[in-house]
Structure 1
Amino acid sequence: MNNERIFREALLAALVEHAAHHFEEAAHCAYVNGLQARTLLTNSGRTELRLSLTRPSDGAPCSYRIGALAERGLVLHEKVYGDEVERREASLESIRDSLVEDELAEFFIRATALPLGAMAELPRQQGAA
């Protein structure tokens, strides 16, 4: 098995274990607030997890994607806000619950203008039900 494939498999495992549920919660929070959002986990050809939504203020497409730069053994965190794109390369260890949650919360607030509390309260509300 080559190094790129091993890296993609490690990234997929990290995304499933540490990131996917946060992306799903953010999509649900968007839905609860009247926004359309979707998540997608892909492992065919390239490995990535993506949250896509439409910014309510101007209809611009926004997305947060965590993907593999397998040939370099790195992870790409890419945030798109309409025409503005932010990219940050990081190690595989950047896929930890706390870091993903913080990055996703920052993206969500900037993309939707919803306060951090709207996202932070969601898991507690679900757990209380």
Structure 2
Amino acid sequence: MANIEETVNGTDDVQEVQDKKQRKHDSGAADLEKVTDFQEETELSNTIANAAQMFVEKGNREAQAKLAKEVELQKIHIKKSDIDKIMFELEVAHSVAEKALRENKGDVVEALRFLIKN
């Protein structure tokens, strides 16, 4: 009878050791899953941050280009009488007439054509 108890106890011990190994393996797998999830979240955050930064940089470049264009347009000399002619003939606002003249390098005829087409 003592021999049977040892076998039972021996089987229990083997089963217990196997259970401990399985739990340890499961725990290690869970830890690995946490690390993997953290890594994926970090990569996703970096990707989103990079995309946002690219949009900001693109917006800045576009704003700088627009500002540079406005500075160039302001250098073009136009006559007040030309602005008045365009305003009277096409019944447009002062700013529209001025912008059309500047974009067409002060040429009244080209400014009128531009405004009529658009």
TM-score (norm 2): 0.28
* Greater strand fraction, Structure 1 or Structure 2: 1
Specify the structure having the higher radius of gyration (Cα). Answer: 2
Relative contact order, CA 8 A, sep 6+: which one is greater? 1
TM-score normalised by length of structure 1: 0.27
Bigger helix share: 2
